[in-house]
A and B are shown apart, each in its own frame.
Chain A
């Protein structure tokens, strides 16, 4: 099936550092979403992107919808311990209804 390639798979960083992760696809997406998931919980929406080239911020988080519509990145600035979790990109392909295609996730660990 369709897949998103998300990288890196895991990151171990020091508190205060900036973080960057990205997703690429062989298909064109018309929506990109970034979610965070913590153990035992469902994914929580962080940022939604709807237009190619769109750059959106939510506090210390910034995400961009790639111009080619086949990629997106998420940046976290000045990381804190509560940023720990698994971050997923997800996208919707035009004319395939509302189903989301998820990346494999980036597991973030923050050392105080």
Chain B
């Protein structure tokens, strides 16, 4: 597709359940980023991949959060034993090259609600 694609668009889960969020970056984009956006706030960085390598996971809030990009294309963000404070919009972004000056292009996000 032409842009970053995320699925599902909406996810409702009960507290304690595990969830998996998918990101399809723009074809050929080397770098992939995950951000968390709480209501009324700006996005906050979670983690960053260059191809299949996870180069920075300093923003992951706890060890319940795990991200992977095994083939250097599609990425999955997994949250285990979800808590209410995990409710947020999870945004994925990709950029073309290794050069970190390349601008990031965002998907429309997955809105996660934990009951």
Contact, CB under 8 Å: A100 / B100: no
State in angstroms the CA–CA spacing of A98 and B31 once bound together: 8
Contact of A99 among B40, B56, B105 (CB under 8 A): B56
Chain B 76-93 interface mask (CB, 8 Å, partner A; 1/0): 000000000000000101
Contact, CB under 8 Å: B44 / A43: no
Contact, CB under 8 Å: A33 / B45: no
Chain A 1-43 interface mask (CB, 8 Å, partner B; 1/0): 1001010000000000000000000000011010100001111
The closest CB in chain A to the CB of B43 belongs to A102
Stretch at the interface among B12-20, B65-73, B106-114: B106-114
Known: A33-B103, A50-B101, A92-B100. A100 touches B33 (CB 8 A): yes
Number of interface residues of B (CB under 8 A): 27
Contact, CB under 8 Å: A98 / B42: no
Least distance between A109 CB and chain B CB atoms (Å): 15
Contact of B91 among A6, A33, A42, A50 (CB under 8 A): A42
Cβ of B7 under 8 Å from chain A? no
Cβ of A88 under 8 Å from chain B? yes
Cβ of B62 under 8 Å from chain A? no
Q: Hey, which chain A residues are within 8 Å of B95, CB to CB?
A: 98
Q: Hey, which chain A residues are within 8 Å of B42, CB to CB?
A: 4, 6, 88, 90, 102-105
Q: Hey, which chain A residues are within 8 Å of B101, CB to CB?
A: 30-31, 50, 92
Residues of A that sit less than 8 Å from B by CB: 1, 4, 6, 30-31, 33, 35, 40-45, 48, 50, 88, 90, 92, 97-105
**Can you spell out 9 A-B residue pairs with CB atoms less than 8 angstroms apart?**
A31-B101, A33-B104, A35-B106, A41-B108, A88-B42, A97-B55, A99-B56, A99-B59, A102-B44
